[in-house]
Amino acid sequence: MESYSKELLKTFYYKMVKIRRFEETVERYFLDGEIPGFVHLYIGEEAIATGVCASLTDKDYIASTHRGHGHTIAKGADLNKVMAEIFGKRTGFCKGKGGSMHIADFSVGMLGANGVVGGGFNLATGAALAIKKQKRDNVSVAFFGDGSSNRGTFHEALNMASVWKLPVIYVCENNQWASTTPYRTTTSVEDISLRAVGYSMASKIVDGNDVFEVYEGFKEALEYVKKGDGPFFLEAKTYRIKGHFVGDPEMYRTKEEVQEIFSNTDPIKKFTEKVLAEKLMTQTELDEIKDKVEKEIKEALDFALNSEYPDPSEIYEDLYV
Amino acid sequence: MRQITFSQATLEAMAEEMRKDENIFVMGEDIARQGGIFGQFKGLPAEFGFDKVMDTPISETAIIGACIGAALAGMRPVADMHYADFMGVAMDELFNQMAKIRYMFGGQTTVPMVVRAPDGMSSCAAAQHSQSIESWFMNIPGVIVVTPSNAADAKGLLKSALRDDNPVIYFENKILYKEKGEVPEGEYLVPIGKANVAREGTDITIISYSIAMKKAFETADILEKQGIHAEVIDLRTLVPYDKEAILQSVKKTHRLAIIHEAVKQGGVGSEIAAFVAENALEYLDAPIMRFGAPFTPVPFSPPLEKAYRLDSEKIAKEIQAKF
Amino acid sequence: MVREILMPKLGLTMVEGTITQWFVKEGDKVNVGDRLFEVETDKLTNEITADTAGMMRKILINEGGTAEVKSLIGIIAGENEDISSVTGKEESIVEAVKEEPKEAITFEAEERSDYVRATPYAKKLAAEKRIDLSKVAATGYNGVIVAKDVDALPEEIKVKATPTARKIAEEKGINLQEIYSGSRIRTSDVLAIEETRAKTDDAETEKASGIRRITAQRMKTSWAGTPMVTFNLEADMSELMELREKLKPVYAKEGLRLTYNHIIMKILSKLLVEYRYLNASFENDIITYHKHVNLGVAVDVERGLMVPNVKGTENMSLREIAEETEKLIEAAKSNKLSPDSLSGGTFTITNLGMFGMESFTPIINKPEVAILGINKIIDKPVALNKQVVIRPMMNLSLTTDHSLVDGALSAKFLSEIKEMIENPYLLI
Check whether C166 has a pLDDT greater than 90. Answer: no
B278 touching C (Cβ < 8 Å): no
- How far is residue C18's CA from residue C40's CA, in Å, rounded to a whole number? 5
B61 touching A (Cβ < 8 Å): yes
- Would you place residue C91 in the very low, low, confident or very high pLDDT band (cuts 50, 70, 90)? very low
Least confident of A19-28, B181-190, C126-135: C126-135
Beta bridge partners of C349: C297, C372
Q: How large a percentage of chain C has pLDDT more than 90?
A: 37
pLDDT value at residue C199? 67
- How far is residue A166's CA from residue B318's CA, in Å, rounded to a whole number? 58
Instruction: Report CA Rg, chain C.
Output: 46
pLDDT value at residue C94? 41
- Would you place residue C101 in the very low, low, confident or very high pLDDT band (cuts 50, 70, 90)? low
Q: What is the mean pLDDT of residues C214-223?
A: 80
Interchain CB distance below 8 Å, B321 and C146: no
- CA B262 to chain CA centroid, nearest Å: 11
pLDDT value at residue C190? 83
Q: What is the mean pLDDT of residues C383-410?
A: 91
B283 touching C (Cβ < 8 Å): yes
Interchain CB distance below 8 Å, C119 and B314: no
CA of B255 to nearest chain C CA: how many angstroms apart? 10
pLDDT in tens, chain B (323 residues): 899 999 999 999 999 999 999 999 999 999 999 898 888 999 999 999 999 999 999 999 999 999 999 999 999 999 999 999 999 999 999 999 999 999 999 999 999 999 999 999 988 999 999 999 999 999 999 999 999 999 999 999 999 999 999 999 999 999 999 999 999 998 999 999 999 999 999 999 999 999 999 999 999 999 999 999 999 999 999 999 999 999 999 999 999 999 999 999 999 999 999 999 999 999 999 999 999 999 999 999 999 999 999 999 999 999 999 99
With 0-12 CB in 10 A as exposed, 13-18 as middle and 19+ as buried, what is A279? Answer: exposed
- How far is residue B59's CA from residue B269's CA, in Å, rounded to a whole number? 32
Neighbours of C211 (CB within 10 A): 15
> Is the link from the previous residue into C362 a cis peptide, with omega within 30 of 0?
no
Q: How large a percentage of chain A has pLDDT more than 90?
A: 98
Instruction: Report CA Rg, chain A.
Output: 19
Interchain CB distance below 8 Å, B282 and C124: yes
pLDDT value at residue C200? 62
B321 touching C (Cβ < 8 Å): yes
CA of B111 to nearest chain C CA: how many angstroms apart? 42
Q: What is the pLDDT of residues C340-378, one digit of tens each?
A: 888 889 999 999 988 899 999 999 988 899 999 999 999
Interchain CB distance below 8 Å, A93 and B105: yes
- How far is residue B205's CA from residue B199's CA, in Å, rounded to a whole number? 10
| Cα–Cα distances in angstroms (integers) from residue C24 to residues C41, C48, C60, in the given order | 20, 11, 13
Residue of chain C minimizing CA distance to B296: C103
Check whether A287 has a pLDDT greater than 50. Answer: yes
- Over the range A75-103, which residues count as b (16 or more CB within 10 Å of their CB) and which as e? bbbbbbbbbbbbbbbbbbbbbbbbbbbbb
B295 touching C (Cβ < 8 Å): yes
Q: What is the mean pLDDT of residues C306-324?
A: 91
Interchain CB distance below 8 Å, B104 and A134: no
Interface test with B, best of C102, C103, C105, C121 (most B CBs within 10 A): C121
Instruction: Specify whether the backbone of C386 is left (phi greater than 0), alpha (psi in -120 to 50) or beta.
Output: left
With 0-12 CB in 10 A as exposed, 13-18 as middle and 19+ as buried, what is C189? Answer: buried
Q: What is the pLDDT of residues C154-165, one digit of tens each?
A: 776 667 788 888
pLDDT value at residue C142? 85
pLDDT value at residue C154? 77
Q: Mean pLDDT, chain A, as a whole number?
A: 96
The interface pTM score, or ipTM, of the predicted complex is: 0.93
Nearest by CB to C121, from B283, B321, B323: name it.
Answer: B283
Residue of chain C minimizing CA distance to B304: C101
Strands (E) across C315-354 are located at 347-351
- How far is residue C250's CA from residue A155's CA, in Å, rounded to a whole number? 125
Check whether A239 has a pLDDT greater than 50. Answer: yes
Residue of chain B minimizing CA distance to C104: B294
Strands (E) across C122-236 are located at 228-236
**For residue C330, which of C346, C311, C345, C310 has the smallest C-alpha distance?**
C310
- Angle CA A70–A75–A76, to nearest 5: 105
- Would you place residue C212 in the very low, low, confident or very high pLDDT band (cuts 50, 70, 90)? confident
- Chain C touches chain A, with at least 3 Cβ pairs below 8 Å, answer no
CA atoms within a 13 Å half-sphere pointing along the CA-CB vector of A43: 22
pLDDT value at residue C8? 84
| Cα–Cα distances in angstroms (integers) from residue A130 to residues A127, B23, B56, in the given order | 5, 9, 15
Check whether C95 has a pLDDT greater than 50. Answer: no
Q: What is the mean pLDDT of residues C220-231?
A: 87
Check whether A39 has a pLDDT greater than 90. Answer: yes
Contact between A116 and A124 (Cβ < 8 Å): no
Strands (E) across chain A are located at 61-63, 140-145, 168-174, 177-178, 181-182, 202-207, 232-237
| Cα-based torsion angle of the residue sequence A145, A149, A152, A157 in order, rounded to the nearest 10 degrees | 80
B46 touching A (Cβ < 8 Å): no
| Cα-based torsion angle of the residue sequence B279, B280, B282, B285 in order, rounded to the nearest 10 degrees | -140
Check whether C92 has a pLDDT greater than 60. Answer: no
Contact between B87 and B133 (Cβ < 8 Å): yes
Residues of C carrying an active site annotation: 402
User: Hey, which of A16-20, C32-36, C94-98, C275-279 has the most confident mean pLDDT?
Assistant: A16-20
What angle, 0 to 180 degrees and rounded to 10, lies between the N-to-C axes of helices A211-226 and A6-31? Answer: 110
- How far is residue B28's CA from residue C267's CA, in Å, rounded to a whole number? 117
Helix (H) or strand (E) holding A71: helix A69-74
C120 touching B (Cβ < 8 Å): yes
Check whether C110 has a pLDDT greater than 60. Answer: no
B92 touching A (Cβ < 8 Å): yes
Neighboring chain C residues of B310 at a CB cutoff of 8 Å: none
| Cα-based torsion angle of the residue sequence B211, B216, B222, B224 in order, rounded to the nearest 10 degrees | -140
**For residue A63, which of A54, A51, A52 has the smallest C-alpha distance?**
A52
Q: What is the pLDDT of residues A47-99, one digit of tens each?
A: 999 999 999 999 999 999 999 999 999 999 999 999 999 999 999 999 999 99
pLDDT value at residue C201? 56
CB-based contacts of B305, cutoff 8 Å, min separation 6: B121, B123, B124, B298, B299
- Phi, psi for C51 (deg, rounded to 5): -110, 5
pLDDT value at residue A148? 97
Interchain CB distance below 8 Å, C141 and B254: no
| Cα-based torsion angle of the residue sequence B200, B204, B206, B207 in order, rounded to the nearest 10 degrees | 90
Contact between B232 and B198 (Cβ < 8 Å): yes
Q: What is the pLDDT of residues B157-179, one digit of tens each?
A: 999 999 999 999 999 999 999 99
- Would you place residue A241 in the very low, low, confident or very high pLDDT band (cuts 50, 70, 90)? very high
- How far is residue C403's CA from residue C285's CA, in Å, rounded to a whole number? 10
CA of B320 to nearest chain C CA: how many angstroms apart? 9
Interchain CB distance below 8 Å, B282 and C123: yes
Check whether C183 has a pLDDT greater than 80. Answer: no
Interchain CB distance below 8 Å, B254 and C121: yes
**For residue A199, which of A159, A161, A165, A166 has the smallest C-alpha distance?**
A159
Interchain CB distance below 8 Å, B65 and A127: no
Neighbours of B127 (CB within 10 A): 12
| Cα–Cα distances in angstroms (integers) from residue B104 to residues A44, A123, B67, C154, C287, in the given order | 28, 16, 18, 59, 82
pLDDT value at residue C378? 92
Instruction: Report CA Rg, chain B.
Output: 19
Neighboring chain A residues of B110 at a CB cutoff of 8 Å: 321
- How far is residue A36's CA from residue A248's CA, in Å, rounded to a whole number? 16
- Would you place residue C103 in the very low, low, confident or very high pLDDT band (cuts 50, 70, 90)? low
Beta-carbon pairs below 8 A across chains B and C: 33
Task: Return the amino acid letter for A183.
Answer: Y
- CA C179 to chain CA centroid, nearest Å: 18
Check whether C202 has a pLDDT greater than 70. Answer: no
Residues of B carrying an active site annotation: 129
Interchain CB distance below 8 Å, A111 and B104: no
- Over the range C132-169, which residues count as b (16 or more CB within 10 Å of their CB) and which as e? ebeebebebeeebbbbebbeeeeeeeebebeeebbebb
- Over the range B37-62, which residues count as b (16 or more CB within 10 Å of their CB) and which as e? bbebbeebbeebeeebbbebeebbbb
Residue, of A119 and C139, whose pLDDT is higher: A119
Give the DSSP letter of residue A308.
P
Least confident of A14-23, A116-125, C319-328: C319-328
Contact between C37 and C50 (Cβ < 8 Å): no
Interface test with B, best of A60, A85, A136, A321 (most B CBs within 10 A): A321
The three-class DSSP label of residue A306 is helix
**For residue A207, which of A169, A170, A240, A238 has the smallest C-alpha distance?**
A238
The percent helix, strand, coil of chain A (3-state, each to 5) is: 50, 10, 40
CA of B308 to nearest chain C CA: how many angstroms apart? 9
pTM: 0.67
C133 touching B (Cβ < 8 Å): no
Check whether C274 has a pLDDT greater than 70. Answer: yes
- How far is residue C417's CA from residue C260's CA, in Å, rounded to a whole number? 13
- Phi, psi for C322 (deg, rounded to 5): -60, -45
**For residue C148, which of A293, A233, B286 has the smallest C-alpha distance?**
B286
Nearest by CB to C120, from B284, B295, B314: name it.
Answer: B284
